[in-house]
């Protein structure tokens, strides 16, 4: 082993899960959900359902990661269990939208929060500056990036818990009830509820984050499942409480269609002056999410570079074995998205694309069992019920998003197809070189 090689431990792994999950989505998506859902009960059920789906997915990924402990997540699992082309399409989606777009969205959200308080600061310049600084940190050494990640995540959890406690102490100026209303069941079974679930799924989308760094992890067969499951449970609990506090602290009429949900809630809880300070703190909590995604995403790009000669330059590492070429490549894509993307459109695009490949990845657990590739360690709890539950709920989400947001959905599907074309072109070029 290279003397400079550093392996991340359990606490870094769980901090990656928590930081990836608690990002832009929970602080920005509630305003969109309130267009179609108007009862507190239905909103909380929505976020609980998102947690159940994510936990079922984490159960499966724990077994997949234990059986195939290589960095790369879905790319590695699908390449091994289905076909390298399917894995590459998944990796392509993760590289272009799965990580780069959420980093762009989180950076844009951070810039928006800061601009709300300090109008002189340009949103785009703020977002680009944050991406540049964190990219530099994660391009140097895994130990440095790991330390920064743990500190940022710990600060995030402490501040959010403090925010929730302050929210409960606060006395709201409006009436609120968590009891089911006469319209609640109709809302839960409406198309709007399932479309809103895509925003929630996006907010939960980091539950599989640790799987992308399995190859850089100490004892991944043990630590990976623990990090995925415990991290997902912690975030589910936080999300339900946090969304309740948002609704408890401010009237629904003030939250509907608003991007800066945290700012509105903080102003009601702490007053205008302290609320502004809390809004800035909430904005900088997004730094841990940006850091986690810049840390995890490039491992997929690196694995793709190792497997496809045409992209070999993406697998380059420095003396500390950090895939600097992949880190820089992802951040270049992020920069382009920051400059060109629209927030809500990209949010749907990302959510739909990720749902497609997490669906395929969870379904691959059945192939793993049929091929008897699973190890004697961690096994999926509740198998086959939990994987089937994940697949059914995920399928509902994919169907409703496709019918309600066809343009964004087709763009997500087209992006995957482009990835497939790149793979086959790369394989043909590689085969020709071997013949020569």
HSE-CB at 411 with a 13 A cutoff on CA atoms is 14
Rg (CA), the chain: 21
SS3 39: coil
pLDDT at 168: 92
Q: Which two tokens mark 152?
A: 């940022």
Query: How many beta carbons lie within 10 A of that of residue 24, not counting itself?
Result: 25
pLDDT at 299: 87
Q: Which two tokens mark 348?
A: 């749907």
pLDDT at 344: 56
pLDDT at 1: 43
pLDDT at 135: 93
* Residue 274 CB contacts under 8 Å (≥ 6 apart), including other chains: 266
pLDDT at 84: 92
pLDDT at 382: 92
- Residues 166-205: tens digit of each pLDDT: 999 988 888 887 888 888 888 888 878 877 887 787 788 7
Beta carbons of 18 and 249 less than 8 angstroms apart: no
Low-confidence spans in the chain with pLDDT less than 70: 1-5, 24, 279, 341-348, 351, 373-376, 434-436
**Which residue ranges form the domains of the chain, and what is each CATH number?**
10-435 (1.20.1740.10)
pLDDT at 348: 65
Interior angle at CA 295, CA 209 and CA 204, nearest 5: 30
What are the distances in angstroms from CA 164 to CA 14, 122, 236, 245, 265?
Answer: 21, 30, 14, 6, 11
pLDDT at 99: 82
pTM for this structure? 0.83
Distance between CA atoms of 48 and 355, rounded to whole angstroms? 18
């Amino acid at each position: 082993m290279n003397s400079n090689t550093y392996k991340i431990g359990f606490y870094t792994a769980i901090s990656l899960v928590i930081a990836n999950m608690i990002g832009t989505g929970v602080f920005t998506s509630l305003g969109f959900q309130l267009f179609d859902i108007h009862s507190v009960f239905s909103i909380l059920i929505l976020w609980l359902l998102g947690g159940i789906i994510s936990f079922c997915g984490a159960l499966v990924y724990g077994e997949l990661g234990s059986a195939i402990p290589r960095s790369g997540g879905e790319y590695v699992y699908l390449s091994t269990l289905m076909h390298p082309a399917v894995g590459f399409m998944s990796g392509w989606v993760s590289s272009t939208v799965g990580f780069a777009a959420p980093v762009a969205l989180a950076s844009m959200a951070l810039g928006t929060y800061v601009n709300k308080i300090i109008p002189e600061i340009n949103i785009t310049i703020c977002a680009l500056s944050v991406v540049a600084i964190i990219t530099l940190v994660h391009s140097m050494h895994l130990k440095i990036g790991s330390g920064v990640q743990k500190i940022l995540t710990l600060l995030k959890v402490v501040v959010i818990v403090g925010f929730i406690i302050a929210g409960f102490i606060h006395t709201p100026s409006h009436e609120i009830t968590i009891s089911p209303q006469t319209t609640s069941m109709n809302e839960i079974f409406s198309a709007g509820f399932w479309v809103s679930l895509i925003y929630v799924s996006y907010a939960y989308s980091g539950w599989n984050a640790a799987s992308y760094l399995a190859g850089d992890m100490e004892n991944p067969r043990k630590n990976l499942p623990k990090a995925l499951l415990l991290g997902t449970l912690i975030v589910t609990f936080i999300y339900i409480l946090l969304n309740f506090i948002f609704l408890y602290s401010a009237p629904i009429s003030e939250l509907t269609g608003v991007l800066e949900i945290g700012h509105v809630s903080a102003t009601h809880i702490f007053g205008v002056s302290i609320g502004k300070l809390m809004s800035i703190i909430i904005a900088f909590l997004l730094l841990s999410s940006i850091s986690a995604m810049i840390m995890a995403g490039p491992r997929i790009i690196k694995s793709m570079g190792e497997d496809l000669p045409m992209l070999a330059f993406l697998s380059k590492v420095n003396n500390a074995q950090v895939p600097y070429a992949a880190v820089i490549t992802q951040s270049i894509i992020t920069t382009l998205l920051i400059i060109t993307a629209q927030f809500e459109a990209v949010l749907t695009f990302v959510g739909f694309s990720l749902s497609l490949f997490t669906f395929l990845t969870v379904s691959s657990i059945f192939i793993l069992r049929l091929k008897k590739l699973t190890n004697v360690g961690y096994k999926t709890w509740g198998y086959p019920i939990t994987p089937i539950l994940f697949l059914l709920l995920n399928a509902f989400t994919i169907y409703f998003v496709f019918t309600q947001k066809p343009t964004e959905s087709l763009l997500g599907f087209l992006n995957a197809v482009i990835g497939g074309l790149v793979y086959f072109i790369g394989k043909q070029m590689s085969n020709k070189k071997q013949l020569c």
